[in-house]
Chains A and B, each alone.
Chain A
Amino acid sequence: MDITTKMPHQSWGQKYHIKTLSLVLLTVGLVLLSAQVSGVDLAMFFTNIDQFTNLLVRMSHPDWAYVTIIWQPILETLQMAIIGTTIGTLFAVPFAFLAASNIVKNSWLHGLVRFFLDLVRTLPDLLLAAIFVAVFGIGSTAGVVTLAIFSFGMISKLFYEVIETIDDGPIEAMESVGANKLQVVHMAVLPQVLNPFISYFLYTLEINVRASTVLGYLGAGGIGVYLQRSLNEFDYSQTAAIIIMTLVVVLVINVLSDYLRERLV
């Protein structure tokens, strides 16, 4: 007998991949629409490209002597990123557990916590930096606080999603032996989430090292301050030195964290 007559009926939508197709069309449509509404002129990108090459030429003689001055602020940028990410993560961990539906069974409570975390994530980091520069004055404190809040929002979400994907069996087993909530988390949850937690921490750190160079531009400390100064003074050989050094540091951090994350899996 012909197998095709026995096969289950496939719906029209499934057969022609209607869902995927409409999603692609919708995305393309939205991109074009938003370009039009916001007045993005793609042609300008190509007509003005000579300005870009012009800039590159002027930056082609990095001021290597300047490196001796900027390695300190680059280190400061790194420190900001590390401290900010760590503080944010420390605060994020308890919130991540409260937001995970397999830990907190009360849907009101974890719903409320998630809503709060969503709110935190809507705050743009540049806005935060501007506010904290106003509050704490120009310097790295503003940068650290900004990065801490940004990491808090990001890490808490990444972490609670990790927690929700774990095997619930060990949780059940620990509840059945009479463990209390903290003991359940310690025995059954932590061993399952520790490696992904560390991996996401490193990933966030990578992002923050990049972000903190930009934050410095707003006066939040670190290398960004020097970047802004050199650009204002049209000292492009200094700008070039800063950019190259920053790229090197970011690259080193990324390679390091990639290496560590691979070791973890």
Chain B
Amino acid sequence: MEAKSIIEFKDVNKIYDNGTVGLKDINLTVQPGEFLVVVGLSGAGKSTLMRTINQMHRPSSGSVLVDGVEVTDLKGRALRELRRKVGMIFQNFNLVKRTTVEHNVLSGKISYYPTWKSLLNLYTKADKLQAAEALDRVNLLEKLYMRADQLSGGQQQRVAIARTLMQDPKIILADEPIASLDPLTTRAVMNDLKKLNQEDGITVVVNLHSVPLALEYADRIVGMRAGQLVYDEPINRVTESDLNAIYQSV
């Protein structure tokens, strides 16, 4: 028997309010510990796919299971508990720029705190230590007390990864995490994600536009076009021409 899947899409459709088809008949199963790369042209639906996993977008029909739990009808506390398990990395980093790196990293832990404690910034000693450790894993410990807007883009993205680490996530979703970074920082960020995947067994789903990077880092690559899954192969069966075909205009 197959191991229990960590993410499962069953006949998922997403039609936006303005009628745009975001996802069409998606069936996809992701195993724990996989490093999955999603490729496809702009507008293919990669971000939409990713955001239905943590329910930042609600699918119009079908079901999505995360860690065995049906998530499409979660609300309130149950929804927040799902999101705690699923870290998200954004193209624009989305740090709070006017506060310190430490505060940004600690904010990953916020769903573990009762509201009043978090409003008073009463973080435990243990969590402050964990924040320092998380920052150390992305090699930025010396920036702990700096303001986030004093960091470079690549450094900000790695702070965002440290923030995600604070959640103790089972899954990390990264939506074009390196789109605004130079080649060197790109490596640092991708290596960080790979390290978390291999050392901590975190399932990683990354949207990428770069074929070479996809080939280098993925365990498995899926391709999207116009809201549909058009390609799904483990890395040892993927060829560069397959991927280039996904990027052909129709």
Contacts and interface: CB of A to CB of B under 8 A. Distances in A.
Given A172-B56, A175-B56, A187-B107, A180 B95 contact: no
Contacts of A188: 96
B96 A191 contact: yes
Contact of B107 (A172, A177, A192): A177
A133 to B, nearest CB: 40
B90 interface: yes
Interface string A170-209: 1011111111101100111001100000000000000000
A175 B82 CA distance: 11
B94 A191 contact: no
Counting chain A CB atoms within 10 Å of each CB, which of B82, B84, B107, B164 scores highest? B107
Interface in A94-139: none
27 contacts: A169-B93, A170-B95, A172-B90, A173-B88, A173-B160, A176-B54, A176-B83, A176-B88, A177-B83, A177-B167, A178-B79, A178-B81, A178-B84, A178-B110, A178-B111, A179-B80, A179-B107, A179-B111, A180-B80, A182-B119, A183-B115, A186-B119, A187-B107, A187-B110, A191-B98, A191-B99, A192-B96
A191 B99 CA distance: 7
A6 to B, nearest CB: 25
B90 A177 contact: no
A187 B111 CA distance: 12
Given A179-B110, A191-B99, 9 more contacts: A169-B94, A173-B160, A177-B167, A178-B84, A178-B110, A180-B115, A182-B115, A183-B119, A187-B96
Nearest to A172: B94
B118 A186 contact: yes
A177 B87 contact: yes
A59 to B, nearest CB: 50
Interface in B84-118: 84, 86-88, 90, 92-99, 107-108, 110-111, 113, 115, 118
Nearest to A182: B115
A189 B113 CA distance: 18
Interface in B67-88: 79-84, 86-88
Given A169-B90, A183-B118, A177 B108 contact: yes
Interface residues of B, number: 32
Nearest to B160: A173
A186 to B, nearest CB: 5
B163 interface: yes
Contacts of B115: 180, 182-183
A167 B92 CA distance: 11
Given A187-B110, A191-B99, A175 B83 contact: yes
A192 to B, nearest CB: 7
Contacts of A187: 96, 107, 110, 118
A264 to B, nearest CB: 12
Interface residues of A, number: 19
B103 to A, nearest CB: 8
Interface of A: 167, 169-170, 172-180, 182-183, 186-188, 191-192
A196 to B, nearest CB: 12
Contacts of B93: 169
A173 B95 contact: yes
B90 A173 contact: yes
A188 B97 CA distance: 9
B84 A177 contact: yes
Contacts of B80: 178-180
Contacts of B54: 176
B160 A177 contact: no
Counting chain B CB atoms within 10 Å of each CB, which of A169, A176, A179, A183 scores highest? A176
Contacts of A170: 94-96
B119 A178 contact: no
A173 B88 CA distance: 7
Contacts of B163: 173, 177
Counting chain A CB atoms within 10 Å of each CB, which of B82, B113, B118, B164 scores highest? B118
Given A172-B90, A173-B90, A186-B118, A178 B167 contact: yes
Contacts of A173: 88, 90, 94-95, 107, 160, 163
